[in-house]
Amino acid sequence: MDSALEELMPRLLPVGDCDLPEDFDPTVPPRTPQEYLRRVQLEAAQCPDVVVAQIDSKKLRKKQTVSISISGCQPAPEGYSPSLKWQQQQVANFSAVRQNVNRHRNHWRSQHLDSNVTMPKSEDEEGWKKFCLGERLYSEIDALSDNENLGIDYIKMGFPPLLSIVSRMNQATITSVLEYLINWFGEKKFTPELGRWLYALLACLEKPLLPEAHSLIRQLARRCSEVRVLEENRNEEQISALNLMICLVSRYFDQRDLADEPS
């Protein structure tokens, strides 16, 4: 190892010249401390100065980094911006819901699920979309068939976010399902089924937020603001639901740059 390199990489344990026998063979296991240290020196001298790792990109997870956009939400249509008092009340209600969920989580987790409830695995994106939204909505089937039985078919209509269900979901699953539904919402319309699940998942999301969850809820708020602007019929109930999502993300989860200005 030359002197210039030694200046950049000083030896932690300087070793002087070793008094080794003439028949010293560095390929055989060392028999003395001097032979061991000499062998280490020889191996270090053979190491290249620069090493480039060969990375198999196929083995990497699809999303290793989290991109957080700093862009804000689009303003509400004229006359539909929520008042500050309304937003504060929604935050207070939401906080109370979260406290109740946390207080009774263990109780509801211990309750038996109905025989027709089979929760998908955390990584099953399509399974969770069908579970939450129902096969009819997922497959965009608008009408019931003539031979449809009375009563609720949750396979077709989607399972509601019952406490006995969401209480069984750990934070990794909650974040994954939130991502699946937000991705679905990115290309589809806002529906009551979607709104109920988004509210329930936000109510179960622990603070402080992990970076991935932080990015997801900001994406949700921005998407709500886009849909709100594009709402042609100005359906007050739907706009109110979109306002609520934006309010919770911005004011409860402290994403204040996304908040609606009070009307």
Identify the pLDDT of residue 13: 59
Q: How many residues does the chain have?
A: 263
What is the structure's pLDDT at 61? 53
Render each residue's pLDDT in the chain as its tens digit; 263 residues.
Answer: 455 544 545 565 565 566 667 677 777 787 777 777 777 777 777 777 676 766 666 555 555 554 445 567 898 888 889 999 999 999 999 999 999 999 999 999 988 888 889 999 999 999 999 999 998 877 775 544 444 554 567 778 889 999 999 999 999 999 999 999 999 999 998 999 999 999 999 999 999 999 999 999 999 999 999 999 987 677 889 999 999 999 999 999 999 999 998 76
Q: What pLDDT, on a 0 to 100 scale, did the predictor assign at position 255?
A: 95
Position 176 scores a pLDDT of 97
pLDDT at 263: 62
User: How many other C-beta atoms can be found within 10 angstroms of the C-beta atom of residue 240?
Assistant: 13
pTM over 0.85: no
Instruction: Classify residue 219 by burial, with Cβ atoms within 10 Å: 0-12, 13-18, 19+.
Output: buried
Residue 70 is predicted with a pLDDT of 53
Residue 146, pLDDT score: 43
pLDDT of residue 9: 54
Structural domains of the chain, with CATH: 84-141+152-258 (1.20.58.1070)
pLDDT given for residue 164 in this prediction: 93
